[in-house]
Structure 1
């Protein structure tokens, strides 16, 4: 599997241009992306529809989707928590229909225990074991192939290991490395680490990789962009890290896919490793979303 895939969240920026969105995804595949990250709540189903239209049976592209939140077009936020077992099952069925598949290769359970974004409260605060029970049942039924976790704590990952975990998708970047112990555990267990918000700064108040002086200096010395340096650092940091950068721009897509060819000398690597890590755990709003 290529270490650089494509995150489909940004496809919604092309909502009024579905053919352009499909062409962009086709270009990502041409450039070597062989795994795509998606969810029903990306564009209220638009991303899944584009993937269904653009992918061909012989592309051999792994589609990874997620459950644990649902679209909420009329809400203050564009999505709402959907953590209960019956909601997880319904979300799997929604993804199957939206993607036109009989089986979802990988499904991430968005646990919502950590990181920026939604938090589960009230009847949405569901025990992990109850969630894993329905996920393993869906796997046994053949509706999903493998189980991943997202927005999970180290303790949650340890509890989930007996269920068989293929990947972990947490917020992680050069400037937000709270999950270093979890990254090492994943490497030891053969679990892929797939960071979202790989350049930080997704919400107000979060640090941004591209604003770091060391990142800018290394980028200038190599003739690349600060964003490329931030992504390349992740690839060099641990061998089990896979990237899913998203974009709606073809030139930006090519820049993202090129980061695998960026090498750092010892001085550049040391300067980047010395960048201060700050917390990425910033809940937002009344829902702590």
Structure 2
């Protein structure tokens, strides 16, 4: 950094992930697939995020069959100190009945890590999440893909011992699975969670107690048909109008307020939405607004993949 300059503020303040201090608002790269025909725009968007203080990015080899990982590799510049989080447990299946297929066997987890290493162009991935199929939106799981957690964690631990991954996270897991996995030194949990989908409150409390980062995906709901949207809630709309912010910013700010262990990875393919998502990290919610949002009842969802 040149002399006389000040560091870019971290969006949302600071949190912890895998022993590192990171911005509480990062970036989820899945939507970069939408820019498949405009690679330069996708790289520019990532670099814009880094310039605005984003220092952790969530990705996967199965996002665009390596396309998104390749964008991240190209976007990173000397001096960019960005923690990359990827995941294994599924594989892209563009010609199948679903865009993803389950890949839970230990040898498939290892192959997924190797593929991530190749497309990211790194010798070690700082964090790799084991994407289970225990809860949330999942493709159908064939019988031969129902794998015991201990067998999976043994492979993930071996990959960590070999230096191919730096730390282990979990995704789409139940409370019982997290409890069983704690001896493997889990650093983060990614589950579907939002203001209108709070079924995992006990899981979040365990993460808080164990100092594990809580990284909600679908943070605004509505990712698929049948999933309620945070931005449809009257209390969210009223708060947004009163605060002069967007409903999405209110929904993201609530997540940050709800737990100090929360790290956000909202995704977008446009610079305007990126900037709005990062700005949500600076939104303070007054007690009256928090009480009104907390009072929103859970909204039942249907699984569109089954």
Q: Same fold (TM over 0.5)?
A: yes
Q: Is the 1:113–1:119 contact (alpha carbons within 8 Å) kept by the matching residues of 2?
A: no
| Equivalent runs, 1:68-79 vs 2, <5 Å | 68-79=89-100
Q: Is the 1:232–1:260 contact (alpha carbons within 8 Å) kept by the matching residues of 2?
A: yes
- The farther-off stretch of 128-137 and 57-66 is 57-66
> Is 1:14 aligned to residue 35 of structure 2?
yes
Superposed displacement of residue 203, structure 1: 1.5
CA distance in 1, matches of 2:157, 2:141: 21
Which of these residues, 177, 181, 184, is aligned with residue 163 of structure 1?
184
Query: SS in structure 2 opposite 1:109?
Result: strand
> Is 1:176 aligned to residue 197 of structure 2?
yes
CA distance in 1, matches of 2:162, 2:49: 32
Q: Is the 1:178–1:279 contact (alpha carbons within 8 Å) kept by the matching residues of 2?
A: no
Q: Could you say which residue in structure 2 is the equivalent of 1:139?
A: 160
Superposed displacement of residue 46, structure 1: 1.1
Which of these residues, 202, 206, 210, is aligned with residue 227 of structure 2?
206
More helix by share: 1
Q: Residues 246 and 126 of structure 1: is their aligned pair in 2 closer, same or farther, counting only changes over 3 Å?
A: same
Q: Could you say which residue in structure 1 is the equivalent of 2:12?
A: none
> Is 1:104 aligned to residue 125 of structure 2?
yes
CA distance in 1, matches of 2:182, 2:290: 32
> Is 1:127 aligned to residue 175 of structure 2?
no
CA distance in 1, matches of 2:269, 2:300: 28
Q: Could you say which residue in structure 1 is the equivalent of 2:7?
A: none
Q: Could you say which residue in structure 2 is the equivalent of 1:84?
A: 105
CA distance in 2, matches of 1:119, 1:148: 22
Q: Could you say which residue in structure 2 is the equivalent of 1:217?
A: 238
Provide TM-score, normalisation by structure 1: 0.97
Q: Could you say which residue in structure 1 is the equivalent of 2:172?
A: 151
- The farther-off stretch of 50-59 and 244-253 is 50-59
Segments of 4+ moved more than 2 angstroms: 117-121, 282-285
Superposed displacement of residue 61, structure 1: 0.2
1:114-172 Cα offsets, whole Å, 9 max, x none, are 01232433100000000000000000000000000000000000000001100000000
Q: May I ask how many residue pairs the two structures share in their alignment?
A: 285
Q: Could you say which residue in structure 1 is the equivalent of 2:24?
A: 3
Superposed displacement of residue 260, structure 1: 1.1
Q: What RMSD in Å do the two structures reach over aligned CA positions?
A: 1.0
Superposed displacement of residue 41, structure 1: 1.1
> Is 1:185 aligned to residue 206 of structure 2?
yes
> Is 1:263 aligned to residue 268 of structure 2?
no
CA distance in 1, matches of 2:210, 2:141: 28
> Is 1:49 aligned to residue 70 of structure 2?
yes
CA distance in 1, matches of 2:225, 2:278: 27
1:30-78 Cα offsets, whole Å, 9 max, x none, are 1111000000111221110000000124211000000000011211211
CA distance in 1, matches of 2:165, 2:201: 29
Q: Residues 211 and 6 of structure 1: is their aligned pair in 2 closer, same or farther, counting only changes over 3 Å?
A: same
Superposed displacement of residue 279, structure 1: 4.1
